[in-house]
Amino acid sequence: MRAGKVRVCFEGIAGCGKSTQVNLLAEALATEEIKPQVLTWPGGTEFGQAVHKLIVHGPSPSSLLARSLLLWADFAELTARYQGEQLLILERHPMYSTLARGVVEPDFDEDALYGLVDALWEHVLRPDVTFVLDVPARVAVERKRRQYEERRKMAPGAEREYEEQLERMRMAYLRLVRVFPEVVIIGGVGDPQDVHLEVRRLLEERIARQGR
């Protein structure tokens, strides 16, 4: 990579392979001239961990808008110190997660959340390219089942509900490509190394266009 500052983001539903692809890209690029800085959100700072604890363990804000604002604040705190980095790899971004993951919330208001994104996106770090790793919800659930098999088991009814929620989020993620020109949908079902090679190819193409 020989372009200027590059911000790459990986997004998608739980179990789509974000962490795997972040690690593969970081390892592949670490041998090149610019070492990537990997940022994981939410919870990547002490403040972010406090926000995560508040939302997960309470007392959590009752409204989706209030929870979203806390998570945006967490992201702003995380990225503020890395604005000057040449190469950033982000695992998730509130601009996309707010819209895609909010669809399963009982008080989801699409207009309000798009208004939030419109108001805030100019004030936080924005990716140059975002790869949404697309996998069917049933595949994601199976991956999570294997990952957590020894630690917890989900009741059949709860697992079906979780799969339905993931599928709704997946559809919302796929719609992002209509709104955000930097979003690229990439299949995440195949071998992780094959997915990584496709990520590298598309990333090099995007950087080459930027350098013209």
pLDDT, greater one: 60 or 26: 26
> Which pLDDT does position 56 carry in this prediction?
86
> Which pLDDT does position 137 carry in this prediction?
96
CA 111 from chain centre, in angstroms, equals: 21
Name the nearest CA neighbour of 47 among 66, 65, 72, 22: 72
Task: In whole angstroms, give the CA distance from residue 198 to residue 179.
Answer: 23
> Which pLDDT does position 84 carry in this prediction?
86
Task: In whole angstroms, give the CA distance from residue 131 to residue 176.
Answer: 11
Q: Are strands 37-40 and 87-91 parallel, antiparallel or unpaired?
A: parallel
pLDDT band at 60 (very low <50, low <70, confident <90, very high): confident
Q: What is the pLDDT of residues 9-47, one digit of tens each?
A: 999 999 999 999 999 999 998 877 668 999 999 988 999
> Which pLDDT does position 156 carry in this prediction?
65
pLDDT above 70 (res 154): no
